[in-house]
Amino acid sequence: MNSRFFYLDDLDALCEKLARASRDGTRMGLVWDSVVRRARSAPGDFPWFTPLVALVGGEPQDIENAKETIRRYLRTLDDQSFGMGLHFHFWCWAFPHARWALYFQWLCALGAWEPAEERRLRAEFLAFQYVNFFSGMRTKPEPECVDNQSLSLCFSNALFGQLFGGVSAIARRMAADGLRRLPDMLGGFPPSGYSGEGSTYMDGVVGPSIPFVVELLERAKGGDWFDRVLPPHGGSAASVCRMIGREWMSCGLTLPWDHYGYGTGVRSCLAYAAHRTGDPFYAGLLERQADWAYDQAIGWGYDDLPWSLVWWPQTRGAGGAAFASWAEPEVGAALVSDDAELYLMQMWDESAPHYPTRAHVNPNALVLAAYGSPLTVDGVPDKSCTSFEYQDTWREVGYMDLGQKRKFNFGVGCAGAHSVLLVDGWEGMRAFSEYPQARLRAFAEAEKFVTAEATPLYRERWPDARVVCRRSRLCHERFWLIEDFARFDQAHDFTARFYLRPGRIPATRGVAIETAEGIRLHLLPILGGDSFRVETVAGYPNVLDGASLRVDFTQHGSECRWLWLAWPEATRRVASDEADGWAALPDAVGALDPAAARAGLATASQGIPLTQPPFLLRDLPVCRRWWFRKTIAVPQGAAWLRLPRRMLEPRLWIDGAEIDLAPQTLGMALLEPEIPLPPSAAGRTVEILLRTDTGHSQYAPGGNHGAGFSGRPALLAPQPASGIGHAEYRDGQVTIRAGEREWTVAHKLLET
């Protein structure tokens, strides 16, 4: 048995770093304090926090909590042996199993076990690993299979060899294959660092595995495995980390890239990148953008916070996240305004032939976000939504379940489900063979434009396709110009499709929306036909508004061109910050009514920020239900109350009258809801009484995997929005007037 704490070469330094952060009240210190508080007061609900707290905290009870966590985990294993998960999705089980084994090793190195129990538990870890995950690794073809699943399996086997190779021959056998394959995993990713599996798998598995894999390879083989560019495809750990950071949009969400849609970012991978590179970009994301109330599942476990704390370098004065425009020739580009308020991504990553279930068909699809809100939609429909069940996109498989076939439709992965150009109405458009589907034609970071061509993907079905191209520009740090150009030999029906957030508002030309957060987008074709159809797609996506607007602009001919003006505007402003100064009352059994809660709040903890669950901020009980109260002076006129996101079962009373939160319930999982205040509140001081549940456990039913609410409450007031007064293209120049201002942009149209 390796006697060191594997991965923690200098435990004393780690302890000192965290202690100092706690004393200084830095962001890192606040996160560490919240982890310790939960591990100590509710170890059964936050089992993944207990091992690090045992090592760093070092109290006898901390160690006992961690030991009991290990025992509890091992007691689950036999029951796992009878489910389809372990047998057909073994990689999901392998990654957490390896980390529990790692934590077991930490406790061994600490001398925490009686020898007999240590031998027994080690045997359980090893035998389970060998028959389930060594066999699982050997199922994945070598060297072809490079994805989150193989990475998980190879890592788990390699780690077992490192942990137990000194005492177990099967551990050494596992390590031989696992270690051999790991470099191919890193090198098998493209140079862009994007695995093609969608931002969720990138963020949830591939990115979080990087620190574990790199540190393991460096210990086992020596040398630098972070920056090293590896065969066969030129991938590297550094490039994966860079892409993980780039997937953070400036609106606070991660890209809805390929399957699964918008999400919340992972942190431990960024902390590791900050540790390895010293790049302030990563530290800025951690300090300014990360949502630390969120318990991000990494590699099917909930130890993102502990590992973030391990790798997070101690820096002072980390600036705000420097969101910058970027381009990767193989996958896409982002254009970001200097103030990070406007964000556009154009993606052209390759889709998978035949069945694009993860790497979607999105040739030059657009993601737009402004002033903190996403404006376009991509992701997954809910179960009620049949809008993407195209006739030619059904598939039936029988290899992922116990004795039954599973029929599913992969239409949501095809072109029709994305903001792209469609031809002849083929919504199930996809590739049927391997070839380079798209390419970057031009990108300029300073001028903020990108041009990419996806002609080959169209040419597979339509051999007469000469060019299909899209150019996006961020102009004057204020608006976007987007040009679509297609030329074919024959005449075709062209459809420029956009999926927008719902909330259509009147517009004399083009289509305009206003999101639930009061952000407007006016999409106006200043060249090309203004003939369009708008349809509400209920159930798509399954997050945000639970619906979208599908907007189809159409043209017919052998050549089509649109030049779009995409004009974003915010219609609300922060009138007063209301994050601090709340009274907070735990409701342990959920029995309080508003009157009882109000009475209790009078003597409850005062001055609590409504930014995270109180037990993350103070020594207060880990409790599912909380009540909050505050009086707020509402300005004259219309006003909105912004509340934290990820509240569960929330109820709100203003001066005793309950406000219906149903319209905001779904969206608040990702975005802070903005609740319109009743007209009667205008110009008065009102009492806000809020009840909400919050994530309180990583595994208990209703625990939301430990993810707590987060945000910064505020009162919002209207902000004038001028809209577009005039927009035209003439003689190579775009002219736009809005309010009192006029902008001109020289624009040379795309050619073949």
Site for other proteins in 132-171 (CB under 8 A): 132, 134-136, 138-141, 143-148, 150, 168-170
210 to 249, contacts with other proteins by CB under 8 A? 232-233
Q: Which stretch binds other proteins (CB under 8 A): 75-83, 313-321, 367-375, 727-735?
A: 75-83
Interface residue with other proteins among 1, 13, 19, 84 (CB under 8 A) is: 84
Interface residue with other proteins among 5, 32, 49, 93 (CB under 8 A) is: 93
In the bound state with other proteins, the residue whose beta carbon lies nearer, of 131 and 444, is 131
- Identify the three-state secondary structure at position 582: strand
Contacts of residue 623, defined as CB under 8 A and 6 or more positions apart, other chains included, come to 586, 587, 588, 615, 696
Interface residue with other proteins among 324, 340, 408, 635 (CB under 8 A) is: 408
| 199 conformational bin, left if phi > 0, alpha if psi -120 to 50, beta if neither | alpha
- Identify the three-state secondary structure at position 443: strand
For residue 143, cis peptide bond before it (omega within 30 degrees of 0): yes
* Cα distances (angstroms) measured from residue 320 to each of 165, 208, 277, 565: 44, 23, 17, 30
Interface residue with other proteins among 17, 37, 97, 625 (CB under 8 A) is: 97
In the bound state with other proteins, the residue whose beta carbon lies nearer, of 337 and 698, is 698
The verdict on 401 binding other proteins (CB under 8 A) reads yes
Do 520 and 571 form a contact (C-beta atoms < 8 A)?
A: yes
Do 495 and 541 form a contact (C-beta atoms < 8 A)?
A: no
Distance CA 534, CA 501 (A): 12
Cβ burial 60-70 (10 Å sphere, 16+ → b, else e): eebbebbbebb
* DSSP E strand stretches across 313-445: 326-328, 332-336, 342-347, 365-370, 373-374, 394-397, 406-409, 421-423, 439-444
Q: Which stretch binds other proteins (CB under 8 A): 4-12, 21-29, 93-101, 742-750?
A: 93-101
- Contact flags string 445-484 toward other proteins, x per CB under 8 A: ----------------------------------------
251 to 270, contacts with other proteins by CB under 8 A? 259-260
Least Å from the CB of residue 42 to other proteins: 12
Least Å from the CB of residue 733 to other proteins: 44
Number of residues that bind other proteins (CB under 8 A): 86
Integer distance in angstroms from the first to the last C-alpha of the chain? 65
Least Å from the CB of residue 452 to other proteins: 20
* CB-count burial class (<10 Å; 0-12, 13-18, 19+) for 603: exposed
Interface residue with other proteins among 22, 41, 87, 313 (CB under 8 A) is: 87
The verdict on 702 binding other proteins (CB under 8 A) reads no
The helix-helix angle for 60-80 and 27-41 (nearest 10°) equals 70
635, two tokens: 């300005």
Least Å from the CB of residue 465 to other proteins: 23
Interface residue with other proteins among 36, 53, 66, 86 (CB under 8 A) is: 86
The verdict on 434 binding other proteins (CB under 8 A) reads yes
101 to 120, contacts with other proteins by CB under 8 A? 119-120
Least Å from the CB of residue 178 to other proteins: 14
Least Å from the CB of residue 354 to other proteins: 8
In the bound state with other proteins, the residue whose beta carbon lies nearer, of 143 and 600, is 143
The verdict on 72 binding other proteins (CB under 8 A) reads yes
Q: Which stretch binds other proteins (CB under 8 A): 361-369, 399-407, 534-542, 717-725?
A: 399-407
In sequence order, which ranges of 248-326 are alpha helices (DSSP H)?
268-277, 280-284, 304-311
* The dihedral formed by the CA atoms of 654, 658, 663 and 669, expressed in degrees to the nearest 10: 70
Contacts of residue 142, defined as CB under 8 A and 6 or more positions apart, other chains included, come to 181, 184
Least Å from the CB of residue 502 to other proteins: 25
In the bound state with other proteins, the residue whose beta carbon lies nearer, of 398 and 425, is 398
In the bound state with other proteins, the residue whose beta carbon lies nearer, of 142 and 552, is 142
In the bound state with other proteins, the residue whose beta carbon lies nearer, of 135 and 685, is 135
Least Å from the CB of residue 87 to other proteins: 5
Distance CA 550, CA 589 (A): 44
Cβ burial 540-576 (10 Å sphere, 16+ → b, else e): bbbbbbbbbbbbebbbeeeebbbbbbbbbbbbbeebe
The verdict on 599 binding other proteins (CB under 8 A) reads no
In the bound state with other proteins, the residue whose beta carbon lies nearer, of 233 and 461, is 233
In the bound state with other proteins, the residue whose beta carbon lies nearer, of 196 and 428, is 196
Least Å from the CB of residue 196 to other proteins: 6
In the bound state with other proteins, the residue whose beta carbon lies nearer, of 123 and 491, is 123
Contacts of residue 44, defined as CB under 8 A and 6 or more positions apart, other chains included, come to 72, 697
- Contact flags string 299-328 toward other proteins, x per CB under 8 A: -xx---------------------------
Q: What is the DSSP letter of 507?
A: -
- Contact flags string 28-57 toward other proteins, x per CB under 8 A: ----------------x--x----------
Distance CA 360, CA 414 (A): 6
In the bound state with other proteins, the residue whose beta carbon lies nearer, of 44 and 557, is 44
Interface residue with other proteins among 37, 99, 598, 625 (CB under 8 A) is: 99
Interface residue with other proteins among 4, 20, 221, 406 (CB under 8 A) is: 406
Least Å from the CB of residue 467 to other proteins: 25
The verdict on 618 binding other proteins (CB under 8 A) reads no
166 to 195, contacts with other proteins by CB under 8 A? 168-170, 172-173, 195
Beta-carbon count within 10 A of 344 CB = 26
The verdict on 528 binding other proteins (CB under 8 A) reads no
Interface residue with other proteins among 11, 15, 30, 92 (CB under 8 A) is: 92
Least Å from the CB of residue 358 to other proteins: 6
Least Å from the CB of residue 104 to other proteins: 13
Q: Which stretch binds other proteins (CB under 8 A): 7-15, 81-89, 421-429, 481-489?
A: 81-89
Least Å from the CB of residue 603 to other proteins: 36
661 to 700, contacts with other proteins by CB under 8 A? 699-700
Distance CA 244, CA 474 (A): 23
Nearest of 514, 520, 515, 522 to residue 481 by alpha carbon: 522
The verdict on 403 binding other proteins (CB under 8 A) reads yes
327 to 386, contacts with other proteins by CB under 8 A? 350, 352-359
332, two tokens: 């896409």
* DSSP E strand stretches across 158-315: none
What is the SS3 string spanning 646-668?
Answer: CCEEEEEEECCEEECCHHHHCHH
The verdict on 596 binding other proteins (CB under 8 A) reads no
- Identify the three-state secondary structure at position 422: strand
Least Å from the CB of residue 126 to other proteins: 6
User: Residue 582 pairs with which residues in a beta bridge?
Assistant: 608
In the bound state with other proteins, the residue whose beta carbon lies nearer, of 53 and 369, is 53
21, two tokens: 């952060």
* Cα distances (angstroms) measured from residue 674 to each of 87, 343, 515, 546, 598: 45, 21, 11, 16, 23
